[in-house]
Amino acid sequence: MHKELLENIGEKELIKRLAEFMPKNQISDDCALIKARDKDLLINTDSLVENVHFSNETISALDVGWKAVASNVSDLISSGCCKIIGINIGLVVPPKTDWNWIKDLYKGINQALEYFGGSILGGDCSVGKEKVISLTAIGTQGEIKFRRNSCKPKELIMTTGLHGLSKLGLMIKSKKIWNKNTFITQTLIDRSIQQFCKPKLKPKFLKKVLNARPNKNLKTIGCTDSSDGLFQALLDLSIESNCKAVVDYEKIPKHKNWPVGDEWDEYYFFGGEDYELVFSLPLKWAKNLLNVDKTISEIGYFTEGSPTVEFINLKNDNFQKYKSFNHF
Amino acid sequence: MHKELLENIGEKELIKRLAEFMPKNQISDDCALIKARDKDLLINTDSLVENVHFSNETISALDVGWKAVASNVSDLISSGCCKIIGINIGLVVPPKTDWNWIKDLYKGINQALEYFGGSILGGDCSVGKEKVISLTAIGTQGEIKFRRNSCKPKELIMTTGLHGLSKLGLMIKSKKIWNKNTFITQTLIDRSIQQFCKPKLKPKFLKKVLNARPNKNLKTIGCTDSSDGLFQALLDLSIESNCKAVVDYEKIPKHKNWPVGDEWDEYYFFGGEDYELVFSLPLKWAKNLLNVDKTISEIGYFTEGSPTVEFINLKNDNFQKYKSFNHF
């Protein structure tokens, strides 16, 4: 029989192929929706695999626990979740694992749940060759649905914070950054390591969007998180909403000490795991929100056209050579 | 720092230790309960790891898919679930995996969901060294709560079917049984392989229990499944309900061609993965149920006493030497 190996297929193609096994009413976002008589529920699964998503050299068990919760909760928040109910844990660990590692993992999970809300509901533990932490988070769908497919032409594109920091944190922790001669300030180092190890997300985002809403009939906005990088987030919104994102490079918010250069742009746009929200709103709603929250930045707008990301005021045109962050 | 390795701790001790990180209101069963305004939800996670729970030599991808769903759904059914909503899939696969394997896995998952109800809600896919299928199933809590801690003295102990078959199926598929001289009929071989590869569970059990209920005020029964073997199921009910199980060896239902002998008792009581229900009911309720369903067998009763499993009419007293099925 002809063998078509997964390594030759790639992640994007895999997701496309797996879609044929999904029910037709599946929402395009990472999260799935469970219809209920009172409030709909959001459910999301994310797995962290040792030496793929984390390693003992770069992150502690305590921070892996926090990050496993955060990466799941981020998908709920970016779907408009108003309340985290809890998580189920599917844990795989080698028999040689130190009990202290597991204890710290659970401590980190509980620290994150104290911060984001919700509790451990249940789970399963098994042995295996390498550590896998597969979490399923469940929460309540809030009043406004955040969906990738709901951006519209003429809406402003915004983001809740800085990008590239988590990638820089990883580079520092894995000692890959010291080979470079770039001057990086201690403030930037500390901030990047914190973003890599213990991302705080934006749990109050839904409330802010609700407060800024000019009209109660508006119930859906276009939104996703930047877990796979800012560029991928913009591309996903464009593709799922079938319109063109125009991004103004000069408006992109950067850390005040963020160095200049091609590689720094690459970290910024393709680094991933910053878990900031990337979304679009009609003009009035956007202006209300930008007025009350100075940490949110306007970075561009959507317009009619084929689903792509177009940059204006771009200082280099190397973007075509970049590939987006890919797990495979 | 002192290293206490997981392989020296054992699964039971691990579960006990992990309990300290769980919220106090956790139910003792494998399933967790999510309180909702209309109907409560049940949520359960079970992970299958390659070469721990399955291997290419003994089971096809199609059957792994079915079994992954079945092992999760069994925990929902044994908690009194009245409707399967769906599952989330956390899949880890090595890059060298053949796409056909993944396609067949999802086919098997969907076949099982067609049979048991529910659909794929969402999930996540990542690379790793070995295959891990971590499923989280979610369903609606039915009118009667099935709980491990709800058996009472004087109640009859019953089970929905035969045990040991799945273990025998595994032995046949892994070619370990042919070394023995025992005569096994083709009927038993076929039935065992089917039980190992494609367990059908008892999805109509709740309805039968409801129909046999003598009094609508009865809302909880003691119940679990035999996923870790009949002996472990009886022990779990005893411990969680704090009473003694007295089991009549002569009443234990066996396949008509099931051979006699110590090793066959071992397969029967400690084999696991048969996913039959093991439960107790007050006398009148039990008799109603036994009258309408001849596939259900009475096998003993609960009595006051320290939580243990005591056998009567036992032909051998080797039971003490047996260890229960243990993943670690």
**ipTM (interface predicted TM):** 0.89
Are A151 and A237 spatial neighbours (Cβ–Cβ below 8 Å)? yes
User: CA-CA distance, A80 to A204, in Å (whole number)?
Assistant: 10
Mean pLDDT, rounded, for B287-314: 95
Give residue-wise pLDDT tens across range A286-305.
999 999 999 999 999 999 99
Mean pLDDT, rounded, for B240-263: 94
Give residue-wise pLDDT tens across range A140-189.
999 999 999 999 999 999 999 999 999 999 999 998 876 566 788 999 99
Are B242 and B182 spatial neighbours (Cβ–Cβ below 8 Å)? no
Distances (CA, A) of B303 to B98, B222, B284: 54, 14, 17
In the prediction, which pLDDT does A319 show?
A: 61
Count of CB contacts below 8 A, A vs B? 216
Of how many residues is chain A composed?
A: 328
What residues of chain A, 20 to 49, have a C-beta less than 8 Å from chain B?
21-23, 26, 30-32, 34, 36-39, 41, 43-47, 49
User: CA-CA distance, A68 to B134, in Å (whole number)?
Assistant: 15
In the prediction, which pLDDT does B324 show?
A: 38
The answer to whether B31-141 and B145-321 have equal CATH topology is no
| Residue B319 C-alpha from the chain's centroid | 21
How many percent of chain A have pLDDT more than 90? 78
Return the CATH number of the domain spanning residue range A31-141: 3.30.1330.10
- A127 in reach of chain B (CB within 8 A): yes
Contacts for A46 with CB less than 8 Å, ≥ 6 apart: A30, A68, A71, A72, A75, A134, A135, A137, B90, B124
Looking at per-residue pLDDT, the higher value among B67 and B315 belongs to B67
Are A328 and A6 spatial neighbours (Cβ–Cβ below 8 Å)? yes
Backbone CA torsion sign across A270, A273, A276, A282: positive
How many percent of chain A have pLDDT more than 70? 92
* Alpha-carbon dihedral angle through residues B241, B246, B251, B254, given to the nearest 10 degrees: 60
Are B231 and B299 spatial neighbours (Cβ–Cβ below 8 Å)? no
Quote the minimal CA–CA distance from B68 to chain A in Å. Answer: 13
Give residue-wise pLDDT tens across range A209-226.
999 999 999 999 999 999
Looking at per-residue pLDDT, the higher value among B20 and A120 belongs to A120
In the prediction, which pLDDT does B325 show?
A: 37
Residues of B in contact with A38 (CB under 8 A): 36-38
Are B92 and B132 spatial neighbours (Cβ–Cβ below 8 Å)? yes
Q: Are strands B244-248 and B309-312 parallel, antiparallel or unpaired?
A: parallel
Residue A72, CB half-sphere, CA atoms under 13 Å: how many?
A: 36
Q: Which two tokens stand for residue A151?
A: 């951006």
Give residue-wise pLDDT tens across range A227-281.
999 999 999 999 999 999 999 999 999 999 999 888 899 999 999 999 999 999 9
The answer to whether residue B326 scores a pLDDT higher than 50 is: no
In the prediction, which pLDDT does A325 show?
A: 37
Instruction: Name the average pLDDT for chain A.
Output: 90
Side chain identity, residue B296: I
Quote the minimal CA–CA distance from A268 to chain B in Å. Answer: 23
The answer to whether residue B328 scores a pLDDT higher than 70 is: no
DSSP B258: P
Instruction: Classify residue A28 as exposed, middle or buried by CB count within 10 Å of its CB (0-12, 13-18, 19+).
Output: middle
* Chain B residue with the nearest C-alpha to that of A95: B7
The CATH homologous superfamily of the domain defined by A145-321: PurM-like C-terminal domain (3.90.650.10)
Domain ranges of chain A: 31-141, 145-321
